[in-house]
Amino acid sequence: MPHTPTSPNTGPKPSGERRPAPDRGRTLLGPALALVHTGQAPTRSALTSALDVTRATAGAISAELEALGLITVDSSPAGGGRGRPSHRLAVDPSGPVVIAAQIHADGLSIALAGLGGRLEEPVHLPLPDATDPVRLLSAVARAGADLARASGRRCLGAALALPNPVTEPDGAALAALHFAWPSGTPVADLFAEQLRKADLGPRARMPLPSTVANDANLAALAEHRHGAGRGSRHLLLVTSGHRGVGGALVIDGRLHTGSAGLAMEVGHLTVDPQGRPCACGNRGCLNSETDPEALFAAADRTPDPRRPLLEQARELARAAAADPRARAAVDHVVDRLGLGLAGLVNILNPDRIVLSGLHRDLLAAAPERLAAVVADRCLLGRSGRMPIVAAEVTHAGLVGAAELAWEPLLHDPQAVAAGTVAGTRGERQK
């Protein structure tokens, strides 16, 4: 299925009309749920003004979402004390869940997520010895199904984050070098097939809608809706997790994924023509100049092969405060990261940059230096208006995958939730 996220965070486009027409009420259910889901409508009066509707319409909409088992409406006075107390709105803690999963160089992570970006503690599994796609995807599907069955909650979808580019709309993996998958492996289809075979329990939507996407894209979505990117209009995220560098752009709440899902492959920007070799055959790409291996190379140190590389690179970045060799390595890598960011800023004109993975630690280790390199190379930076901030969301790939899995519900809560809401009374919906 297509996996281009829609935009809950931009909310509705208010028309200025104030008619509580029933069909308008239904079309506003999705935007209303998105506002509660992203924390932008904590009360019914906030919902009323965000949707630009009458109090009566907002009341009807919140009652409908409550009846669908998606939100709770608490009529006890909410804080603030200004004017009449408003009903508090929150996602229903016993509401539906989705399965969020991520395959990365160090293993598999699987978690359930409720609305509101509420991720349950993930299960982490080591990579199986054989990393062929079917083996990996069946392990993910089985682990997700175990969690869904054990939770007893309605399960409405699943999404998987991958560390490689994923085509749209067919969901094929390209350049999945970590696992040596053939280029063009139809991951979306294989994942759906493994979920069909898994025992998801009596309360899952069947067949369970599922989708796959690139992990940096999903991290950007997570930061935009629940983290350091909230409120930004043109959010650029750059990250280095294990090997290489990922980038993503969220414009007005929507991921910019290009014509085939392959936009924002920032890793092959040249930042040093004489630099380290990259898997693409060139030298000095952002990938090979600013990832964990690059930091170790700059420090002339060798990481322990038994420990996750990112963890060790983070320690090395933090050591810059006291260790001159680590300091020099951080400065070397930060200068190249700054060149890459400046190039992206000149092309994309974002209003915020969120740095994640190792880049978050590099920002913490050398914030002024990084800002100065960016400022020196781009007009926007020179004007002093280019905020570069640290990512905030823990397990952002998983939180972003959950966002993707929520898309159908946020698009039409009634169609998706009404089919399963009777399940709250113990019936299985066909």
Residues at the contact surface with Zn ion, assessed by CB under 5 A: 268, 278, 280, 282, 285
Q: How far is the CB of 287 from Zn ion (least distance, A)?
A: 5
Q: How far is the CB of 267 from Zn ion (least distance, A)?
A: 6
Residue 384 phi/psi, 5-degree rounding, is 80, 15
Q: Rounded to an integer, what distance in angstroms lies between the CA atom of residue 397 and that of residue 391? A: 12
Q: How far is the CB of 241 from Zn ion (least distance, A)?
A: 16
Bridge partners (DSSP) listed for residue 87? none
Q: Rounded to an integer, what distance in angstroms lies between the CA atom of residue 403 and that of residue 156? A: 12
Q: How far is the CB of 62 from Zn ion (least distance, A)?
A: 50
Instruction: Identify which of residues 282 and 424 has a Cβ nearer to Zn ion in the complex.
Output: 282
Name the DSSP class of 85.
Answer: -
Residue from 4, 285, 341 nearest 168 by CA: 4
Question: Residue 279 class from Cβ within 10 Å (0-12 exposed, 13-18 middle, 19+ buried)?
Answer: middle
Element (H, E) at 374: helix 367-377
β-pair type (210-214, 155-162): parallel
Instruction: Identify which of residues 90 and 279 has a Cβ nearer to Zn ion in the complex.
Output: 279
Instruction: Identify which of residues 241 and 253 has a Cβ nearer to Zn ion in the complex.
Output: 241
Residue pair 287/268 in contact by the 8 Å Cβ criterion: yes
Cα–chain-centroid distance for residue 233?
Answer: 16
Instruction: Identify which of residues 278 and 393 has a Cβ nearer to Zn ion in the complex.
Output: 278
Name the DSSP class of 425.
Answer: G
Q: How far is the CB of 83 from Zn ion (least distance, A)?
A: 57
Instruction: Identify which of residues 210 and 239 has a Cβ nearer to Zn ion in the complex.
Output: 239
Alpha-carbon distance values, 181 to 163, 164, 195, 232 (Å): 12, 10, 20, 36
Q: How far is the CB of 165 from Zn ion (least distance, A)?
A: 13
State the chain's maximal CA–CA distance in angstroms.
68
Instruction: Identify which of residues 282 and 346 has a Cβ nearer to Zn ion in the complex.
Output: 282
Instruction: Identify which of residues 108 and 339 has a Cβ nearer to Zn ion in the complex.
Output: 339
Q: How far is the CB of 292 from Zn ion (least distance, A)?
A: 16
Residue whose token pair is 């909310």:
11
Residue 217 phi/psi, 5-degree rounding, is -60, -45
Q: Is 123 helix (H, G, I), strand (E, B) or coil?
A: strand
Instruction: Identify which of residues 153 and 242 has a Cβ nearer to Zn ion in the complex.
Output: 242
Q: How far is the CB of 204 from Zn ion (least distance, A)?
A: 41
Residue pair 200/155 in contact by the 8 Å Cβ criterion: yes
